[in-house]
Amino acid sequence: MDVRPSCFGKEVIYKAVCSSTNTLALQLLYTNTSKVPEGTVVITDHQYKGRGQRGNVWTSEPYKNLTLSLIIRPTFLALQESFVLNIITALAIEQVLASYIPSSLAIKWPNDIYYHDQKLGGILIENLVVGRSISATVIGIGLNVNQTSFASLKPTSLALVCKRTFDLNSLLASLLDVLETNYIQLKEQGIASLQEAYLEKLYWIHEPHTFQDQTQTFQGIIRGIDAIGRLMVEQTAEGRGIIKHYGCQEIAFIA
C-alpha cells in the first residue's frame, strides 16, 4: 500500500500478512522504542489474528479492508486521561465515513463505529506506560471497506452500505489526515470541543434501552461519559434518576 508523506504515515511498516498489527507495533516499541517515530503506521493486507476489546477477535477478509496500527507519543496526557484517544480516533473514523454515509452513523462506546445497528469498524488502543506516564500509544483500527460477506448479520461494510467499492489507499490517506488534525487539536486546545462532537454521535445517547451490568438487566438511558471515559447510564425503573458509571467490561448493550 502507498501512504502519503505526512507526519501520520510518513513512516510505514507494511506486512502483506501478519497476525496482528497492534502486536507488531507493540513489539517494535518494546524492542526499540526510542527509534520508532511518532506517526509510524503498521499496516497489512491480511491480518489473521486481529485483536479487539475484551479479548475478542477481529476477523477481516484479506485485501478487502483497512487493518492498521498507528504509533503516537501522547506524553502530554496523564494516564487517567487516555480515553480521549478513543474519542479522537472514533470521531476521525466517523468524520471520514460521513463523506460517504451522510446519516445513521454512530460511535458505540467505547470503541466501535456503527451504521444503524451494524458494526462498520473498531478500535483497540494500547498504551506503553512508564511509571504513571504514557510513553507511547498504539491505535489499532479495523474498518470494513470492501468486504461483502460476513459470518453473521452484525457487521456491515462501506461497500455494502454504499453499493460500490472503494480505493483503500485514498480512504487511508483521508483517515490519517483527519486523525492527525484531531490529535493536533487535542494537543493544542484540549478535549472539550472534540468530546462535544463525540457525544453528538454516541450510539443510544438520551434514548431508553435495555442494559446488563454485573448484577442485573435494567432499563436505562446513556447520559454521556465521565472524565476518565466511563459510560454514564441513568436507571429509569428501580433507582430512577441514579446515574452509574461503567468501565468497558462492566456493561453490555442488550436492546
pLDDT in tens, 200-245: 999 999 999 999 999 999 999 999 999 999 999 999 877 678 899 9
**pLDDT on residue 148:** 96
- Calculate ∠ Cα 109-143-40, nearest 5°: 100
Instruction: Give this prediction's pTM.
Output: 0.92
Pick the CATH number of 208-253 from 1.10.530, 2.120.10, 1.10.357, 2.30.30: 2.30.30
Fold assignment, 12-200: BirA Bifunctional Protein; domain 2 (3.30.930)
**Do residues 172 and 92 make contact, with C-beta atoms less than 8 angstroms apart?**
no
Q: Where are the domains of the chain?
A: 12-200, 208-253
The contacts of residue 5 (CB under 8 Å, 6+ apart) are none
Q: Tell me the pLDDT tens digit for each residue of 180-199.
A: 999 999 999 999 999 999 99
**Do residues 109 and 103 make contact, with C-beta atoms less than 8 angstroms apart?**
no
Q: Is the pLDDT of residue 2 over 50?
A: no
Q: Is the pLDDT of residue 63 over 80?
A: yes
Enter the C-alpha cell of residue 224.
454521556
Cα–Cα distance for residue pair 91/74, rounded to 1 Å: 17
**pLDDT on residue 231:** 98
Average pLDDT along the chain? 92
